[in-house]
């Protein structure tokens, strides 16, 4: 059995595995990585012999780390990458090619419904009623989306939000606040099974799930890079911020918000934290912190969205889909019970 894993920004690790009586009985590790001295490769392979076929990636990585000598040097990969490749060989982890992705790209919806739909698609994937999904969001109104654990009063200026007709919503994932406007924002969600990020830390999974987006931006001529923990940027400034939620039932929600164009003055009227971040950096204009995609590509928003879809399709394949009536009904239920409910909105006052 063979498994492969390419470390984001690093090298490919390929592992061939044989098993007997629920244990690894044979293993060969290869790849385009750098490793010194040569004997370290034998130490890595020997460490994996006897491991259980159901061992978690963290357990496998620990075996490898404990077998390495202090002078062993791994470049372009680490013990965790080896562990993920082993798990893939054993069928415990999956790769992009193991899944068929659907694309949902539909009409604009209100912010509460958009928050609810993210949860709905995660529920549907966990229940086996829908496969992995790429969803392109469209906004029907101005909004501020605060992270699951952020304080409303610390992040939002209520008077500024009312003055600019901004709806404040709280998402299920952590991270910071986002200011969005219809037509000036590109937002997407990836809903995938946990097996796709099996063995990865949150930081590693951000880089892994953002890699296609970075590639799409580069195809548009932007020198884009991933910046830990959850940003995508270019030399001209920040482009996007990501957030992620891993549900107990095995679904992973990873969503990204990108600025196409931005009314920085309006954003500063609504977001308190934006003022603090800018004052801390001695910066008077938000435009110096968040550089819109329009200024870096010269393309329309629709053209950029289509380029993103085409890039994902070329890498992993896409089949178009629409929300079902049952999914929309569940979203409406969640809006009333959760996302528009003050108990959720002000869970951290």
Q: Pull the structure tokens for residue 181.
A: 């406007």
Task: Quick: pLDDT tens for 71-91.
Answer: 999 999 999 999 999 999 999
What is the per-residue pLDDT across 294-328, written as a single tens digit (0 to 9) for each? Answer: 999 999 999 999 999 999 999 999 999 999 999 99
Examine the pLDDT at 287 and tell me if it is beyond 50.
no
Region of residue 161 (left: phi > 0; alpha: psi -120 to 50; beta: else): alpha
Contact indicator for 66, 282 with CB cutoff of 8 Å: no
Q: Are 170 and 193 in contact (CB under 8 A)?
A: no
Cross-strand partners of 258 = 186, 240
Mean pLDDT value of segment 176-194:
95
The predicted pLDDT at position 280 comes to 45
Question: Has residue 281 got a pLDDT over 90?
Answer: no
pLDDT of residue 125: 98
SS3 content of the chain, % helix, strand, coil (to 5): 40, 25, 30
Contact between residue 13 and residue 95 where contact means Cβ atoms under 8 Å apart: no
pLDDT for residue 283 is more than 80: no
* Among 127, 157, 140, 154, CA closest to 250: 127
**CA–CA separation, 171 vs 173, rounded Å?**
6
At residue 277, the pLDDT reads 55
Span 8-14, average pLDDT: 93
Residue 292: its pLDDT value, please? 80
- Contacts of residue 136, defined as CB under 8 A and 6 or more positions apart, other chains included, come to 103, 104, 105, 186, 187, 188, 305, 308, 309
Q: Which fold has domain 2-93?
A: Enolase-like; domain 1 (3.30.390)
Distance of CA 29 to CAs 46, 201, 240, Å?
10, 22, 36
DSSP string, 207-223: HHHHHHHHHHHHHTT--
Picking from 61-65, 274-278, 295-299, which range would have the lowest pLDDT averaged per residue? 274-278
Every domain of the chain and the residues it spans: 2-93, 97-345
For the segment 254-262, the average pLDDT, to the nearest whole number, is 94
Confidence of residue 236 (pLDDT cuts 50, 70, 90): confident
Q: What is the pLDDT of residues 115-136, one digit of tens each?
A: 999 999 999 999 999 999 999 9
Q: Is the pLDDT of residue 282 over 70?
A: no
- The arithmetic mean of pLDDT across residues 50-78, rounded, is 97
Contact 94, 196 (CB under 8 A): yes
Does residue 141 register a pLDDT over 50? yes
Q: What is the pLDDT of residues 146-168, one digit of tens each?
A: 999 999 999 999 999 999 999 99
Q: Which residues contact 179 (CB under 8 A, 6 or more apart)?
A: 143, 144, 166, 262, 266, 267, 270, 271, 274
What's the predicted TM-score (pTM) here? Answer: 0.88
pLDDT score, position 291 = 60
Which class does domain 97-345 fall in?
A: alpha beta
């Amino acid at each position: 059995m063979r498994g492969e894993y390419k470390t984001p920004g690093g090298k490919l690790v390929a592992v061939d595995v044989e098993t007997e009586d629920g244990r690894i009985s044979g293993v060969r590790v290869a790849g385009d990585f750098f490793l010194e001295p040569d004997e370290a490769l034998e130490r890595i392979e020997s460490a994996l012999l006897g491991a259980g076929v159901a061992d978690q990636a963290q357990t496998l990585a620990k075996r490898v780390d404990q077998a390495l000598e202090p002078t062993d040097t791994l470049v372009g990969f680490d013990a965790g990458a080896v562990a993920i490749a082993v798990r893939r060989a054993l069928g415990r982890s999956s790769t992009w090619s193991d899944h068929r992705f659907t694309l949902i790209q539909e009409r604009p919806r209100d912010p509460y419904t958009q928050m609810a739909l993210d949860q709905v698609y995660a529920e549907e994937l966990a229940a086996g009623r829908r496969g992995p999904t790429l969803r392109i969001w469209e906004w029907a109104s101005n909004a501020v989306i605060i992270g699951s654990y952020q304080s409303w009063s610390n992040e939002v200026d209520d008077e500024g939000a009312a003055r600019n007709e901004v709806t404040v919503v709280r998402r299920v994932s952590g991270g910071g606040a986002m200011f969005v406007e219809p037509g000036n924002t590109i937002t997407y969600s990836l809903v995938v099974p946990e097996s796709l990020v099996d063995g990865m830390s949150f930081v590693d999974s951000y880089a892994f799930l953002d890699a296609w987006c970075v590639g799409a931006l580069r195809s548009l001529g932007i020198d884009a890079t991933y910046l830990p923990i959850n940003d995508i940027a270019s030399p001209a400034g920040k482009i996007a911020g990501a957030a992620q939620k891993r549900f107990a039932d095995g679904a992973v929600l990873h969503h990204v918000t990108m600025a196409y164009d931005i009314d920085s003055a309006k954003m500063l009227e609504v977001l308190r934290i934006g003022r603090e971040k800018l004052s801390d950096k001695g910066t008077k204009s938000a435009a110096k912190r968040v550089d819109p995609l329009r200024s870096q590509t010269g393309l329309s928003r629709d053209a950029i969205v289509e380029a993103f879809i085409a890039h994902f399709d070329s890498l992993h394949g896409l089949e178009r889909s629409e929300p079902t009536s049952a999914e929309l009904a569940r979203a409406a239920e969640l809006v009333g019970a959760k996302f528009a409910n003050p108990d959720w909105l002000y869970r951290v006052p």
